[in-house]
Amino acid sequence: MIHNMNELTQASEAAREQLRAYDCRILVCSGTGCIATGSNKIHEIFEQLVKNTPGVELVFSPCGGNHEEAAVGVKKTGCQGFCELGPLVRIQKGDKVIQYVKVQPEDCEEIIEKTVVRDEVITRLLYHKGYTAYVSPDEIPFIAKQTRIVLENCGKFDAESLDEYLAAGGFEALKKALSMSRDEVIDEVDKSGLRGRGGGGFPAGRKWKQVARQKETERFVVCNGDEGDPGAFMDGSVMEGDPFKLIEGMMIAGYAVRAENGYIYVRAEYPMSVARLWNAIHQLEERGLLGDNILGTDFSFHMHINKGAGAFVCGEGSALTASIEGNRGMPRTKPPRTVEKGLWEKPTVLNNVETYANVPKIILQGADWFRSIGTAGSPGCKTFSLTGAIENTGLIEVPMGTTLREIIFDIGGGLKNGAEFKAVQIGGPSGGCLTEKHLDEPLDFDSVKKFNAIVGSGGMVVMSTDTCMVEVARFFMSFTQRESCGKCTPCREGTKRMLEILERIVNGAGKLEDLDTLEELATMIQTMALCGLGKSAPLPVLSTLSTFRDEYITHIVDKKCPAKQCTALRHFSIIPVLCKGCSKCARNCPTHAITGVIGKHFVIDHEKCIKCGACIESCAFDAIYVDD
């Protein structure tokens, strides 16, 4: 049990001592991505191997024993960031860290023999780019070009161990906050200029101030971990990779606004985040860092977790609190705002995962330090999940104001297989597309808005010339239409009508006046919908319409899809010289559009063809091709 500040200092010192006593640590990435590629198995194999290798010994707490053999720890860390190259493994000896990528079960023995026992680097398992092999993770351009505040611990230590968090300076910020007055804490956060990382960009300090001055004395701290934007996994990675930091941030908020209860709302698709957060909460309760009179002060704080149940709209503040209360997750009209009447009608601080995770470091290093990173209007860093048609997919964190070019080409390594860059979709279903001409614009909350997009929570999906922008707009509209809660008419009906038009266009039945109707509906929804989900739903359409209008017109007038992605606009033909006349395609065609004589080449009747592609799938000779 940690009863007071002194005991916390002692516990952290003891934890550091433990860490130093390890001769070697094998850090196996246990983020969702690496587990999917088999990192749990790798962890298991390493534990077995270490147990059975003479000269090394598997230890869990190396201090206190007399070790004649090398003390080796096998640990599961949070996301190491390079998701595409998993399973990722780091071998740490003192300050030296070696990053291995794509580690397979059969590599483990070699790693123990060579790297752990004999200190040799296995070049084959290093990250390679061109002719260069990188040993330390910090040298890999993908990581070297990032600035990590929220993700600083992710991948470096055991996400399930409070001791490791303490050893890395965990809870120093809470200790410092508790020695400051509540107003001083709020002022520091306010001065730092930290803005809500969930997408809105509302200043966090101002929110806290508003809650602190309410008459009602029962208050709540709520964390939005309902990261629903398709293509975004930053918050999930923080909850998995550094759960203690998120909780520490929430505790500081709790202290500042005099709240005694904190709730984290995690989406149902993140079972691992839920497990790691529960584990963290249990350990903190056991050690007395959560509960009554924390560190011997009058501050008490209790944490609760609510699991989402599959409703995107619950990422909206008032819908989220309604869901925690056990109701349908539907937004309500504002005001009153959440700071006045939030959870159970009480004043509530509602921030997202990344926002809270920024707080400890702001308290420790001060507002000025935070302001020295990023841009004047948007200080600090932002995490992004970099996905789609890009070489290095993964989790990144860069200062606000970094340009798209740096993110996509320097960090992301450019497009996959040398494809040509077309656009990057940012901000998910509430965001828009940025193109070639935006590549050198610095990205922050305010600059991106000017281009009909939003920074949003940070999902970044890179698209090559193979992607059809009309189809992308249709895709997002079908998402928001499905996820519309149905409470307000503009969103419920408007998104449905917009989707119908978009479907018509990708099916080759669009009319030119559809584009005007789309714009009219979009403006109507934007101005009249009840909540943020509805208001931003038309953005993907508006943004693609303004940047890729030609593409819409080609679909409508020429009945062609330049990216050759829209099924209905494809044109199937059989290449006579390749066709063996086996009749397999004819037998598989659902509309009997293919005819011919066995042994001679077959023909497709375009009147009957529904462009389903069944013939291509069935042809063993690649004799069927698609043109636009």
Nearest distance, CB of residue 7 and another protein, angstroms: 32
**Residue 278 CB, nearest approach to another protein (Å):** 13
Please choose, out of 32-40, 114-122, 132-140, 368-376, the segment that lies near another protein by the rule CB under 8 A: 32-40
Closest CA to 346 of 337, 334, 354, 335: 337
Residue 307 interacts with another protein (CB under 8 A)?
yes
**From the list 133, 144, 309, 578, which residue makes contact with another protein (rule: CB under 8 A)?**
309
Q: Which of residues 203-232 bind another protein (CB under 8 A)?
A: 227-232
The alpha carbon dihedral of 110, 115, 119, 125 has a sign of: positive
Alpha carbons 431 and 480: distance in angstroms, whole number = 12
Q: Whose Cβ is closer to another protein: residue 56's or residue 423's? A: 423
Stretch that binds another protein, among 390-398, 403-411, 509-517, 597-605 (CB under 8 A): 390-398
Task: Single out the segment in contact with another protein by CB under 8 A; choices: 83-91, 182-190, 210-218, 571-579.
Answer: 83-91
User: Pattern 324-363, binding to another protein, x per CB under 8 A?
Assistant: xxxxxxx---------------------------------
Amino acid at 192: S
Residue type, 315: G
**Pairing label, strands 603-604, 594-595:** antiparallel
Q: Which is nearer to another protein, 238 or 339 (CB)?
A: 238
State yes or no: residue 538 binds another protein (CB under 8 A): no
Query: Binding of another protein at residue 533 (CB under 8 A)?
Result: no
Structure tokens at 249: 């941030």
Q: Which span sits near another protein by CB under 8 A: 280-288, 319-327, 373-381, 493-501?
A: 319-327
C-alpha dist (Å) from residue 610 to 552, 597, 628 = 22, 22, 15
Nearer to another protein, 317 or 459 (CB): 459
Residue closer to another protein, measured from CB, 164 or 551 = 551
Q: Is 459 in the site for another protein (CB under 8 A)?
A: yes
Rounded to whole angstroms, the Cα distance separating 277 from 75 reads: 17
**How near is the Cβ of 371 to another protein at its closest, in Å?**
31
Residue holding tokens 């979009």?
Answer: 522
Question: Which of 84, 113, 218, 260 forms a contact with another protein (CB under 8 A)?
Answer: 84
Write out the E strands in 191-246: 220-225
Piece of the chain touching another protein by CB under 8 A; list 175-183, 477-485, 554-562, 599-607: 477-485
Residue 326 buriedness (CB in 10 A; 0-12 / 13-18 / 19+): exposed
Q: How far apart are CA 300 and CA 72, in angstroms?
A: 38
The pair of three-digit structure tokens given for residue 623, joined into one six-digit string: 């004799």
Please report how the helices 243-257 and 271-286 are oriented relative to each other, as an axis angle in degrees rounded to 10.
60
Is 428 or 562 the residue whose CB approaches another protein more closely? Answer: 428
- Which residue, 363, 449, 357, is CA-closest to 397? 357
Task: Find the binding residues for another protein in span 588-617 (CB under 8 A).
Answer: none
Q: Which two tokens stand for residue 61?
A: 């707490």
Q: What is the DSSP letter of 176?
A: H
Buried b (16+ CB within 10 A) or exposed e, 143-163: beebbbbbbbbbbbbbbbbbb
Candidates 37, 99, 351, 378; binder of another protein (CB under 8 A) is: 37
Binding site for another protein (CB under 8 A): 32-33, 35-37, 83-84, 86, 227-233, 236, 268-271, 306-312, 323-330, 385, 387-389, 393-395, 425, 428, 459, 461, 463, 467, 472, 475-476, 479, 483, 485
